[in-house]
């Protein structure tokens, strides 16, 4: 059973939730779904985070920043715990997060994550002009979670946040 957060836990959650993803600096770790839970366990505030990708180099920084945010909010005993299960999915990206991505120039994931076709592409809309006349340039963009696309309508290159 998941019980409701206590007022202290709620305050701690809100503090931890202000941490921005270092690689997509318009999204908070709450928008991304990286922040899973904040609980008080025997006087210690335990924040649970999950990596987007196994080798995500941002996780160390996020851990430190969560710890700092909690201390800044006045919590003395804090701990950041990493979990792998359930595995992070782009389905956890909030609608607000998706809109923030578009505004920032990154196309949000098209459709739901799943064990779909191995080859073949979803229709990805250009975050600049909205055209779906786009071409994948590379399966991997500036970070593991993004692919590199080019819009054939407005000719702008853009990052696509892959379904995962």
Q: Are 16 and 38 in contact (CB under 8 A)?
A: yes
Of 35 and 56, which CB lies nearer to another protein in the complex structure?
Answer: 56
Please name the residue that has the structure tokens 């000719």: 155
26 binds, among another protein, Zn ion, none (CB under 5 to 8 A by kind): none
106 interacts with Zn ion by CB under 5 A: no
- Could you tell me the sign of the dihedral formed by the alpha carbons of 83, 84, 90, 92, in that order? negative
For residues 50 and 65, which CB has a smaller minimum distance to another protein in the complex?
50
| Residue 150, contacted partner among another protein, Zn ion, none, CB below 5-8 A by kind | none
> Order of strands, edge to edge, in the sheet holding 78-82?
35-41, 44-49, 78-82
Number of residues that bind Zn ion (CB under 5 A): 7
Stretch of residues binding Zn ion (CB under 5 A), selected from 21-29, 48-56, 110-118, 148-156? 148-156
Q: Pick the stretch among 21-29, 94-102, 103-111, 125-133 that binds Zn ion (CB under 5 A).
A: 125-133
In the complex, the smallest distance separating the C-beta of residue 7 from another protein, rounded to whole angstroms, is 32
The stretches of the chain forming alpha helices (DSSP H) are: 7-16, 29-32, 59-72, 95-104
Direct distance between the N- and C-terminal alpha carbons of the chain, in angstroms, rounded to an integer: 27
Would you say 15 or 134 has its CB closer to another protein? 134
In the bound state with Zn ion, the residue whose beta carbon lies nearer, of 73 and 154, is: 154
With CB cut-offs between 5 and 8 Å by kind, which of Zn ion, another protein, none does residue 154 bind? Zn ion
Q: For residues 125 and 110, is the Cβ–Cβ distance under 8 A?
A: yes
Residue 78 lies near Zn ion (rule: CB under 5 A) = no
Burial zone of 112 (CB within 10 Å; 0-12 exposed, 13-18 middle, 19+ buried): exposed
Applying CB under 5 A, does 157 fall inside the site for Zn ion?
A: no
Short-list 11, 9, 10, 35, CA closest to 21: 35
For Zn ion, the closer CB: 71 or 128: 128
């Amino acid at each position: 059973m998941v019980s409701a957060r206590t007022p202290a836990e709620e305050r701690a959650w809100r503090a931890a939730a202000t941490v921005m993803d270092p690689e997509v600096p318009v999204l908070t770790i709450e928008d991304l779904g990286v922040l899973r839970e904040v609980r008080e366990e025997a006087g210690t505030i335990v924040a649970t985070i999950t990596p987007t990708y196994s080798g995500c180099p941002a996780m160390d920084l996020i851990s430190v920043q969560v710890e700092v945010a909690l201390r800044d909010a006045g919590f003395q005993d804090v701990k950041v715990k990493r979990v792998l299960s359930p595995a992070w999915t782009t389905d956890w990206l909030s609608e607000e997060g998706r809109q923030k991505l578009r505004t920032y120039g990154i196309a949000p994931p098209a459709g739901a994550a799943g064990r779909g076709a191995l080859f073949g592409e979803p229709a990805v809309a250009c975050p600049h002009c909205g055209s779906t006349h786009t071409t994948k340039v590379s399966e991997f963009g500036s970070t593991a979670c993004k692919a590199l696309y080019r819009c054939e309508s407005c000719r702008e290159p853009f990052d696509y946040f892959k379904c995962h």
